[in-house]
Amino acid sequence: MRENLLHFIPELVLIGTILVLFLAAFLASAQQRLFPQIAFVGLLMMLLANYGSRDLPAIHFFSGMVTYDALGHFFKYIFGLVGLMGIIFSHQSAELEKADLPSYYTLIIALILGMVLLATASNLLMIYLSLEMVSVLSYILTGYLRGVRRSSEAALKYVIYGGVASGMMAYGFSLLYGLTGSMDLTTMAQYLGANPASRSLLYVGVLFSMAGFGYKVAAFPFHMWCPDVYEGAPTPFTAILSVGPKAAGFAVLIRFFLTALTHSSASGDFIDFKDTGWPEMIAILSIATMTLGNLTALVQSNIKRLLAYSSIAHAGYMLMGLAALNNEAVRAVLFYLVVYAVMNLGAFLVVIIISNRLGTEQIEDYKGLGHRGSLGLLLAVAMTIFLFSLTGVPPLAGFIGKFYLFGAVVRAGLYPLAIIGVLNSVISLYYYVRVIKLMFFDQPADASPLSLPVVSHSYVVSGLAILTVYFGLFWNGLAALTERSAKLLF
Amino acid sequence: MHFPYLSFMTFFPLVGMLIIGLMPSHRADCIKKVALFTTLPPLVAAIGLLMHFDKANAGLQLFEGPYAWIPAFHIQYYMGVDGLSLVMLLLTALVCPICILASWGIEKSPKGYFALFLLLDSAMMGVFSSLDFFLFYVFWEVMLLPMYFLIGIWGGPRREYAAVKFFLYTLLGSVLMLLVMLAFYFYSDGNTFNLVTLANQQTHLGPLKGEHFRHLCWLGLFIGFAIKIPAFPFHTWLPDAHVEAPTAISVILAAVLLKMGIYGILRICYPILPDATVHFGTLMAVIGVINIVYGALCAMAQKDFKKLIAYSSISHMGFCLLGMSSFTPEGLNGTVLQMFNHGTITAQLFLLVGVIYDRAHHRDLEGFGGMAQIMPRYSAMTAFAFFAALGLPGLSGFVSEVLCFLGGFRSFPIITVISVSGVVLTAAYMLWTYQRVFLGQVNEKYKAFSDITARELTTLIPLVIIVVVLGVYPSYILDLMNPTLVALGKTLTDLKIAGL
């Protein structure tokens, strides 16, 4: 039992942080500045604890409910860093001015805990519970701007879609349980490997389960909540939402498919037990997701909605990589998640600064941003880097990410998928470039130089932009990290 | 260990870009001087490269690297030259300072303009010196970004449309190239992006799966490169981009960027996929003749001076396609010489259009008349450039066109006979244009125009000298590239004969 808790220290630190935040809310609720600081320190300690646990052996613990392995370890870093970024983004946000800050930060930390549990869950029950935990907290945070109509509306939509999706997932899980007699992913795999169970039932069970996962990563046809929620939620939370739960969704997708439904062959590729055609199924989902995301993004006029559809498209790209189900696939998805987190958070931070400063989320209002003083130029150049990186143009990180994804797909021989994928990249260029065009080619309606409300934000924007370029040129370290992390405990 | 000429030529412009980035934006004069003095050392280095280059050696030489860049994916920093890339590097190094001089009149944020220009310079040098496919691809794509902004910010009235169209077309081409690059990587022995290793593995004898797969790969690459050439039917971005781009950017586009399409085919498709290249030889020849004739006919119908020259570029790049599809030494030599000559001649044409546009602020061919009386020196320069473009014997364009036809005739007699009509059409539209603009009734509106200035002449004179010298004695360039191209052609001709 002591051993188990040693593996669980990062999670325990998060729980401790939540308790401290509770206490602080009672004792010092007037000290508004205290709460982000507590949350920030808590996350830093969680990252440190995670670093400290890097050499522990991989095990299943808590009766096989939770797994400690390289993959989970990697995702804890991601969630911790995304959480830190989220706290920085929320700092002095104009939207959150009137909100109840103590509970806001408590909810954020609880959300991180939920995502960590989701990424390490190795039992269908645990997957369901942690997924619900992430969902419920997301609903609350989306509707956090009390009295703002679109925030409440978004939260309600989110709840309804989420309820349907998790209901379908629970049904899928029950079918899988009925089929294999177990909730544990590893035991399921052993059963499926040894017994010729009905293929069609397995197929139905997996499809229904996909509802829950697809809803978390915003994949077709469970993406409908995404634009409304992104638009309605407070922007700092939207930034977290666009990266964190999506990463958690991919973590659970990887674990579910690679642990329960396939076995690894001698060459390291994953082969499904019954020739059920998982690659084809994921490929179809991926094509639908990216094409829909990209085509719909073409006509958006709100920058948050544009980024919402772009995030749907990116879920499609990552599903494309996953469809390869080979050695490179997991590595590519992990790699892409990291660069996606960097560039997408950067883009959202620019959106937050603009919305704090100019009070607008309309793409039209980005007109001539590059001509508005040195801050305007900085924001416009950084945004350009993020958007080109999202398109996948070298020498930026997004290109390397796509390079890995397409590499996995080409190696698996899924050429039609690869061709559709690259055509989608070309389509996406059009809407990203529209924003860039407005920022540089057009003259601003109001040419006064921008001033910055929060100085630290401009450092963070520059840092993320530099990181985007850096990973585009020297990604050896990141590649090595993802290679180490792409190891699951079966 | 020799001086790293190639890395120097590639990265020195970036140093200039950084210096310009740190300069205050109101010191426009200083910025222009820094830009000019950053493009001169690469030109000197190019001459040094020429001195060190062993003409008798057909293979690649003066290597830099391979150094490991990203060991996890076997990506290397690897550069080197052979006769083919040397000629292109010379052209690039020569055209860049000329373009800086031609941009002297830029008033709208010169800091951004020259910084982007130097980034473009760096990427172009990188494309011509890379021997690692990944490195090549990165430089190839990096070129798009400054080009997009240079057209989009400093261009004409429809610049946004033209810039986005340029970007979308080229990106479409390059993503297809990306897929083929990955296929090469995964199906090569020992997984590599090294172009030399890839070329040595003789894909037609075994690796790289089946014949159909190689054909698909070839087509993927070809579409990517054909968009850049631009070959019919992927050419429609070019007239738009040319018309909207500022003068110097048009020059770069015509003189260097268009050459990258042909260069890519010769550097990647020919050596790595020789059997597929032979298989698609006729296709290239047919596209070539369509480019020649269709481009010339379109040029004849234009009312806009710049659009006319854009279509004449399409027509002239058709000669390259025809020459290279023959796989004969004459054809291949003609192709590369034509690339160089087209670079020098079309650069002059665009510079000349820029001169008149700066004065009249329009380019309508019907709107001038009798300019020869108002601007005699300008008219003489234009006459020279027109005659060079239509292939007058004694000037460089003639030599390369004849070589292309000689090579083409040996492989595709009928197609070549049709192509020759392109020469007549070119003469027709060039002379007709000259007549409309420079001869006839003097347009009173433009009576007060000053003749061509010393700065404008400075940009033209070096090109004029090269055109004359190569017209009389083309061996200066031909000797550099002949061994490389003969070796390249031999592999393909052998395959073709074996296939028959």
Q: What is the pLDDT of residue A475?
A: 87
- Residue B155, by phi and psi: left (phi above 0), alpha (psi -120 to 50) or beta? beta
The token pair at B86 is 């040397």
The token pair at B396 is 């460089």
Q: The whole model's pTM is what?
A: 0.90
Helix axes A327-358, A70-90, angle to 10 degrees: 10
Q: Do B168 and A429 touch (CB under 8 A)?
A: yes
* ipTM of predicted assembly, 2 dp: 0.86
Residues B258 and B310 in one domain: no
Of chain A residues 367-406, which have a CB less than 8 A from chain B?
A: 388, 391, 393-395, 399, 403, 406
A192 pLDDT higher than 90: no
Chains A and B form CB pairs within 8 A to the count of 77
B500 pLDDT higher than 60: no
B137 touches chain A (CB under 8 A): yes
Residue B175: which of A422, A441, A479 has the nearest Cβ?
A422
Among the listed residues B249, B306, B242, B245, the one whose alpha carbon sits nearest the alpha carbon of residue B95: B249
Give me Rg for the CA atoms of chain A.
Answer: 22
CA of A249 to nearest chain B CA: how many angstroms apart?
27
Across residues B192-217, what is the average pLDDT?
78
Residue B145: which of A393, A419, A426 has the nearest Cβ?
A393
A2 pLDDT higher than 60: no
Residues B336 and B233 in one domain: no
Asked, for residue B71, whether it belongs to a domain, the answer is yes
Residues B305 and B274 in one domain: no
DSSP state of A262: E
Residues B261 and B314 in one domain: no
Residues B227 and B312 in one domain: no
State which residue of chain B sits closest to A368, comparing Cα positions: B153
Q: What is the pLDDT of residue A484?
A: 84
CA of A240 to nearest chain B CA: how many angstroms apart?
30
Residues B303 and B443 in one domain: yes
Cα separation of A160 and B55, whole Å? 74
Name the one residue in this structure whose structure tokens are 């379109």.
B298
Residue A447 CA to chain centroid, in angstroms?
A: 36
Q: Do B141 and A394 touch (CB under 8 A)?
A: yes
A390 pLDDT higher than 90: yes
Across residues A430-441, what is the average pLDDT?
88
B175 touches chain A (CB under 8 A): yes
Across residues A164-192, what is the average pLDDT?
89
Residues B153 and B125 in one domain: yes
Average per-residue pLDDT for chain A:
87
Cα separation of A400 and A459, whole Å? 24
Residue B186: which of A388, A410, A440 has the nearest Cβ?
A410
In B130-210, alpha helices (H): 133-142, 144-154, 159-187, 195-200
Residues B307 and B272 in one domain: no
Summarize pLDDT for A306-325 with one digit per residue, the tens: 999 999 999 999 999 888 88
Asked, for residue B192, whether it belongs to a domain, the answer is yes
Cα separation of A219 and A312, whole Å? 6
B203 pLDDT higher than 90: no
Asked, for residue B287, whether it belongs to a domain, the answer is no
For B377-389, the DSSP string reads HHHHHHHHHHHHH
Higher pLDDT, B450 or B312: B312
Q: Which residues in chain A are closer than 8 Å to B167, comparing Cβ atoms?
A: 429, 433
Q: What is the pLDDT of residue A272?
A: 64
Q: What is the pLDDT of residue B160?
A: 87
Contact A203, A273 (CB under 8 A): no
DSSP state of B194: B
Q: Do A437 and B178 touch (CB under 8 A)?
A: no
Q: How confident is the model at residue B132 (pLDDT cuts 50, 70, 90)?
A: very high
Q: Which residues in chain B are closer than 8 Å to A433, comparing Cβ atoms?
A: 148, 164, 167
Contact B188, B196 (CB under 8 A): no
A270 pLDDT higher than 80: no
B70 touches chain A (CB under 8 A): yes
Summarize pLDDT for A207-261 with one digit per residue, the tens: 899 888 999 888 888 888 889 898 888 888 999 999 999 999 999 999 888 888 8
Cα separation of B368 and A199, whole Å? 78
State which residue of chain A sits closest to B163, comparing Cα positions: A437
Question: Tell me, what amino acid is at B345?
Answer: I
DSSP percent split of chain B into helix, strand, coil, nearest 5: 75, 5, 20
Residue A394: which of B138, B149, B160 has the nearest Cβ?
B138
Q: Do B153 and A388 touch (CB under 8 A)?
A: no
Asked, for residue B213, whether it belongs to a domain, the answer is yes
The dihedrals phi and psi of B63, each to the nearest 5 degrees, come to: -65, 150
Q: Do A393 and B163 touch (CB under 8 A)?
A: no
B168 touches chain A (CB under 8 A): yes
Cα separation of A353 and A362, whole Å? 13
Contact A485, A410 (CB under 8 A): no
Q: How many domains does chain B have?
A: 2
Q: How confident is the model at residue A268 (pLDDT cuts 50, 70, 90)?
A: low
Of chain B, the percentage scoring pLDDT greater than 90 comes to 49
Q: Which residues in chain B are closer than 8 Å to A418, comparing Cβ atoms?
A: 179, 182
Question: Tell me, what amino acid is at B234?
Answer: F
CA of A459 to nearest chain B CA: how many angstroms apart?
19
Residue B144: which of A393, A415, A474 has the nearest Cβ?
A393
Cα separation of B16 and B118, whole Å? 7
Among the listed residues B256, B236, B328, B254, the one whose alpha carbon sits nearest the alpha carbon of residue B285: B328
Q: Which residues have a Cβ under 8 Å from the Cβ of B425 and sit 6 or more positions away? A: B293, B296, B297, B299, B300, B315
B205 pLDDT higher than 70: no
B172 touches chain A (CB under 8 A): yes
Q: What is the pLDDT of residue A266?
A: 59
In B229-280, alpha helices (H): 237-244, 247-252, 258-264, 270-272, 274-279
B183 pLDDT higher than 80: yes
Across residues A337-358, what is the average pLDDT?
90
Summarize pLDDT for A25-47 with one digit per residue, the tens: 888 777 778 888 899 999 999 99
Q: Which residues in chain A are closer than 8 Å to B171, comparing Cβ atoms?
A: 391, 393, 425-426, 429
Q: Which residues in chain A are closer than 8 Å to B144, comparing Cβ atoms?
A: 393
Of chain B, the percentage scoring pLDDT greater than 70 comes to 98
Across residues B260-279, what is the average pLDDT?
90
Residues B464 and B435 in one domain: yes
Summarize pLDDT for B231-256 with one digit per residue, the tens: 988 999 999 999 999 989 999 999 99
Residues B314 and B410 in one domain: yes
Question: Tell me, what amino acid is at A288?
Answer: A
Q: How confident is the model at residue A269 (pLDDT cuts 50, 70, 90)?
A: low
The token pair at A284 is 């179809």
Residues B271 and B371 in one domain: no
Q: How confident is the model at residue B8 (pLDDT cuts 50, 70, 90)?
A: very high
Bond before A453 cis per omega within 30 degrees: no
B453 pLDDT higher than 60: yes
Cα separation of B16 and B37, whole Å? 8
Q: What is the pLDDT of residue A295?
A: 92
Of chain A, the percentage scoring pLDDT greater than 90 comes to 38
Give me Rg for the CA atoms of chain B.
Answer: 22
Q: Do B168 and A395 touch (CB under 8 A)?
A: no
Q: What is the pLDDT of residue B371?
A: 85
Residues B446 and B345 in one domain: yes
Residue span of the structural domain in which B216 resides = 1-279
A356 pLDDT higher than 90: no
